[in-house]
Copies of this chain bind each other. A is one copy, B any other.
């Protein structure tokens, strides 16, 4: 169910993303200087009207912009890694708990059996036991003290 491929890490998938990640640093500046609406992902680009202010700093060509983008990309990667790690941990926790559960159930089974044996032994010789005890004192036989629990 998938686990064998997983695109290239960091680098590009075909040979373009890199350009945008490093281009501005070198002299490649192949950035489209006339992008109409940004065909890419969740990106926007140019609200039909209203661009007479901070556009200078926010425009795609700005170094500021690229810097911000790159930093955010790092943050995103980091965050996603963390998220995946957490998910994996949770999954592991489930297995851990399942194991412990089995362990506990086994122990319960054992204790229950042990208890049952002792109780049977008690009943089996209850008469001899009480016969020999009752006459001597007035002690509590407690044959039913804790019964069969909850």
Chain B residues in 8 Å Cβ range of A39: 20, 31-32, 35, 38-40, 43, 45, 60
A110 to B107 alpha-carbon distance, docked (Å): 12
- Of all chain B residues, which has the CB nearest A129? B129
A115 pairs with B114, CB closer than 8 A: yes
A90 to B87 alpha-carbon distance, docked (Å): 9
Q: In this assembly, does A119 line the interface, its C-beta being within 8 Å of a C-beta of chain B?
A: yes
A93 to chain B, nearest CB (A): 5
A149 to B36 alpha-carbon distance, docked (Å): 77
A20 to chain B, nearest CB (A): 7
Number of copies: 2
- Of all chain B residues, which has the CB nearest A87? B87
Chain B residues in 8 Å Cβ range of A5: none
A31 to chain B, nearest CB (A): 7
Q: In this assembly, does A64 line the interface, its C-beta being within 8 Å of a C-beta of chain B?
A: no
Q: In this assembly, does A68 line the interface, its C-beta being within 8 Å of a C-beta of chain B?
A: no
Q: In this assembly, does A10 line the interface, its C-beta being within 8 Å of a C-beta of chain B?
A: no
Residue A118 contacts which of B32, B87, B115 (CB distance < 8 angstroms)? Answer: B115
Chain B residues in 8 Å Cβ range of A129: 125, 128-129, 132
Q: In this assembly, does A14 line the interface, its C-beta being within 8 Å of a C-beta of chain B?
A: yes
Chain B residues in 8 Å Cβ range of A43: 16, 39-41
The 3 A-B pairs with the shortest beta carbon distances in the complex, nearest first, are A40-B40, A41-B41, A97-B97
